[in-house]
């Protein structure tokens, strides 16, 4: 009997990394693999609190008995601010890798000879764990939480410096011109690469991280498919698309916030294809004047809407968001956090107003719902480019001279999208194409088996 592969999965501790890596873990468990999932102590507390207060306790299937969670500290105290990206990354990087060898030893001692950790899978910023893996003779791979296009830009960062396209100190473009990373990819604006919006102090560490992942990650797995991003996937033979990541359980219990399940009953009461679903992910923050226009725009539409206004990262209820004077919201439902896959697959949802983070983009594509794209930072601009101009399954918003998306613009674009049958048909066509990848014999399904078999070698 061949031994069961045992994966140690290590996400960077933000929701946009934890979620896809947990979904990946559940997919591995579906294939009979063992998974040890490493959360920070702080993240794990949030996950447990969200699960405990959730109205539906998660139904744990047999797969979850194959997934064990372990924790390490992130180097910050309970009250420290984790919303400053640079400081948070530095703390995690300087704290966690040093504690890893002991954790691996403890896990292996509890497992017996046949099921020691055989492969460590990390997300971006956790490359230090691959250095530990190499020293211990354990295989290493990367699961990239964003698109293959974003993954390609990180893998090509040294080439972009060598070709004089970006500045080696800051990562910012030297010339103001669009570039193509490969002939089959859309043109990209180097001023909008994922790292540029995070400031120059972020670039040096990111460059170093990219070099670590390139030299030590034998596979770069990505939640995408060949059809969605063929050009980006052709950049390196290490790139392996295994998406869409669809765990059995729609109730993946890795959320940091309690999911409001009541919105599903509310959706049941709405007519088919009538509801505008609005959600900007776990990190985007909207300034008050823009928040006001969005609220009044939803009123103006006079259609049912489901709007996620998430509790702020500071744990104060509804943090800084104040609903504007005159906002009625009569036709809508406003919630703190949604079971997004279930919402998008609900027949009453007509469109998805999204920040275009990659996890949300894949959720939308897999549900066949057209998009209204509202990117905030980082790779979201690239994702919007694909949605609107490559796959043609959505529309973008135009800002006015003050950089604001007005209520009138919101109303106009939503009406236009909902009336566009061609976009709707294309959305359904893409859904089928993407979902075929994870069916038996589909390319992503075969790639995942290839990866699991590699860990057994």
Any idea of the CA torsion for 19, 14, 143, 252, to the nearest 10 degrees? -10
Q: Using 50, 70 and 90 to split pLDDT, how confident is the model at 54? A: low
Count CB-CB contacts under 10 A for residue 178: 12
Q: What sign does the dihedral 159-161-162-165 (CA atoms) show?
A: positive
Q: How far apart are CA 231 and CA 443, in angstroms?
A: 16
Give me the count of residues in the chain.
457
Whether 87 has a pLDDT exceeding 90, the answer reads no
pLDDT in tens, 309-365: 986 644 444 456 789 999 999 999 999 999 999 999 999 999 999 999 999 999 999
Q: State residue 314's pLDDT score.
A: 41
Q: State residue 58's pLDDT score.
A: 47
- Average per-residue pLDDT for the chain: 91
Beta partners for residue 119, in sequence order: 7, 139
Average pLDDT over every residue of 414-438: 98
Average pLDDT over every residue of 402-421: 98
Where does 359-408 show beta strands of DSSP type E?
371-373, 394-396
Whether 421 has a pLDDT exceeding 80, the answer reads yes
Q: State residue 319's pLDDT score.
A: 53
Average pLDDT over every residue of 403-411: 98
Q: Which range (260-269, 317-326, 432-441) has the least confidence? A: 317-326
Find out whether 228 and 429 touch, Cβ atoms under 8 Å. no
Helices marked H in 80-202: 85-109, 128-136, 148-155, 157-162
Q: How far apart are CA 49 and CA 43, in angstroms?
A: 10
pLDDT in tens, 116-127: 999 999 999 999
Q: State residue 7's pLDDT score.
A: 97
Q: If you search the block for the tokens 């592969």, which residue do you land on? A: 5
Q: Which range (191-205, 302-316, 324-338, 439-453) has the least confidence? A: 302-316
Domains and CATH numbers, the chain: 6-246+438-456 (3.40.50.2000), 262-434 (3.40.50.2000)
Q: In what order do the strands lie in the sheet with 239-241?
A: 67-72, 34-40, 6-10, 119-122, 139-144, 220-222, 239-241
Reference 377, options 455, 306, 282; nearest CA is 282
Contacts of 283 (CB under 8 A, 6+ apart): 14, 15, 16, 313, 357, 376
Q: State residue 380's pLDDT score.
A: 93
Q: Using 50, 70 and 90 to split pLDDT, how confident is the model at 253? A: low
Angle at 384 between CA 379 and CA 387, to 5 degrees: 130
How large a percentage of the chain has pLDDT more than 70? 93
Q: State residue 315's pLDDT score.
A: 42
Q: Using 50, 70 and 90 to split pLDDT, how confident is the model at 197? A: confident
Average pLDDT over every residue of 134-139: 97
Average pLDDT over every residue of 220-245: 97
Q: How far apart are CA 393 and CA 366, in angstroms?
A: 12
How large a percentage of the chain has pLDDT more than 90? 75
Whether 16 has a pLDDT exceeding 90, the answer reads no
Report residue 84: phi and psi, to 5°.
-95, 105
As given in the structure block, the two tokens for residue 252 are: 């993946």
Q: Using 50, 70 and 90 to split pLDDT, how confident is the model at 59? A: very low
Average pLDDT over every residue of 173-197: 89
Q: Which residue has the higher pLDDT, 18 or 251?
A: 18
Question: What DSSP designation does 175 have?
Answer: S
Contacts of 396 (CB under 8 A, 6+ apart): 372, 373, 374, 384, 388, 413
Q: State residue 328's pLDDT score.
A: 93
Q: How far apart are CA 388 and CA 402, in angstroms?
A: 23
Q: Which range (184-198, 213-227, 245-259, 343-357) has the least confidence? A: 245-259
As given in the structure block, the two tokens for residue 379 are: 């790779």
């Amino acid at each position: 009997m061949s031994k069961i592969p045992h994966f140690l999965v290590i996400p960077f501790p933000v929701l946009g990394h934890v979620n896809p890596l947990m979904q990946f873990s559940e997919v591995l468990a579906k294939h009979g693999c063992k998974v040890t999932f490493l959360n920070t102590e702080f993240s794990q507390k949030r996950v447990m609190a969200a699960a405990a207060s959730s109205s539906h306790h998660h139904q744990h299937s047999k797969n979850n008995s194959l997934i064990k969670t372990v924790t390490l500290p992130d180097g910050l105290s309970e009250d420290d601010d984790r919303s400053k990206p640079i400081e948070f990354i530095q703390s995690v990087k300087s704290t966690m890798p040093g504690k890893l060898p002991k954790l691996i030893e403890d896990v292996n001692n509890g497992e017996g000879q046949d099921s020691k950790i055989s492969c460590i899978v990390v997300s971006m910023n956790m490359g230090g764990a691959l250095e530990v893996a190499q020293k211990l003779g354990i295989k290493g791979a990367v699961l990239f939480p964003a698109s293959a296009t974003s993954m390609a830009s990180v893998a090509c960062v040294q080439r972009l410096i060598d070709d004089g396209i970006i500045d080696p100190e800051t990562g910012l473009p030297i010339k103001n011109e669009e570039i193509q990373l490969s002939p089959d990819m859309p043109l990209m604006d180097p001023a909008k690469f994922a790292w540029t919006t995070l400031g120059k102090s972020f670039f040096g560490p990111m460059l170093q991280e990219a070099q670590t992942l390139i030299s030590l990650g034998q596979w770069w797995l990505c939640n995408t498919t060949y059809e969605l991003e063929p050009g980006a996937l052709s950049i390196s033979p290490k790139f392996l698309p295994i998406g869409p990541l669809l765990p059995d359980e729609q109730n993946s219990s890795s959320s940091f916030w309690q999911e409001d399940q009541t919105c599903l009953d509310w959706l049941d009461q709405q007519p088919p294809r009538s509801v505008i679903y609005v959600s900007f992910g776990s990190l985007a923050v909207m300034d008050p004047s823009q928040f006001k226009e969005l609220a009044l725009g939803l009123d103006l539409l006079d259609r049912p809407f489901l709007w996620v206004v998430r509790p702020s990262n500071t744990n104060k209820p509804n943090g800084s968001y104040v609903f504007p004077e005159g906002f009625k919201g009569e036709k809508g439902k406003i919630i703190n956090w949604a079971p997004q896959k279930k919402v998008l697959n609900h027949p009453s949802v007509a469109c998805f107003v999204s920040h275009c983070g990659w996890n949300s983009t894949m959720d939308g594509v897999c549900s066949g719902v057209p998009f209204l794209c509202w990117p905030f930072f980082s790779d979201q601009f690239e994702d919007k480019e694909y949605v609107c101009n490559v796959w043609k399954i959505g529309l973008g918003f135009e800002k006015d001279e003050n950089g604001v998306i007005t209520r009138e613009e919101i109303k106009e674009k939503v009406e236009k999208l909902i009336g566009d049958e061609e976009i709707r048909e294309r959305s359904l066509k893409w859904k089928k194409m993407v979902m075929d990848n994870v069916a038996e014999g589909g390319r992503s399904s075969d790639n995942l088996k290839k990866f699991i078999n590699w860990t057994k070698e």
